[in-house]
Amino acid sequence: MALRLVLATVLFALALPSPMTAAQCVGDCRGDGEVTIDELLVLVNIALDNTPVSECESGDSNGDGTVTVNEIIAAVNKALSGCAPDVSGSWQQDQAAIASSSCAAAVTAIVQENIAAGDFNCTYQLVQSGEHVTITATCVGETDVTEGTVDATGRLTVTTSEQETMDDCPITLTQTTTGIVTTSPTVGTHNMEFRFLPVCGFADCAIAVQARWTKLASSLEVQGFSSR
């Protein structure tokens, strides 16, 4: 393949939208979760037979012993959009349970009451753009939109913070929600950190709630889950 044709292919691909359909991170020669310009040049040299394919086996996505134009385009798309897998779709959260708590019994009891009332039975609509994910959460009839990130392993991370006052007690709740969303069902964990003002009479503490996440699809069979 002529060098001019290979470079023209790369430049053309840079102008294209960035689909996220590849099953692996094509062109991530170092395995560090990203595709860089120097790795793209390695692929070009492999395509020109100037470099052995062993220098970047991830660039040979179909395992045929060489790097093709389509594989270079796929690698360019990964350089543009990142190596995170596409996790877009609708998820159902249920079977929530407290996994651990360092809070006073009264605070833990409130969270348990919320679980019993169905406050953690939610649906999540995930829309991904590169490593950024927009999550529309609908729980007990209320809808909120938050932003999160997903890494190359498919781990979704969302952090929110809110303040409210209950019985004249100002509370700051910071919640970090994580879960691997490349398989279904999976486990989502809500790590909730409570900060109380002295007037509240409670020490700062944390509660972890685990729940089952199931991706919604007509052909998907829901399996059992037990909180650990």
Range of the domain at 95: 89-215
pLDDT in tens, 168-203: 889 999 999 999 988 899 999 999 999 999 999 999
Which residues lie closer than 8 Å to 155 by C-beta, 6 or more apart?
178, 179, 180, 181
Q: What is the dihedral of CA 25, 31, 36, 42, to 10 degrees?
A: -90
Whether residue 46 sits in one domain with residue 132: no
pLDDT at site 24 = 66
Q: Does residue 223 fall inside a structural domain?
A: no
Split the chain (228 residues) into runs of 10 and give each run's mean pLDDT. Answer: 48 41 71 87 93 92 90 86 80 96 94 95 91 92 92 90 88 95 92 94 95 76 36
Which of 47, 81, 115 terminates a domain? The answer is: 81
Q: Of 83, 76, 90, 215, which is closest to residue 150 (Cα–Cα)?
A: 83
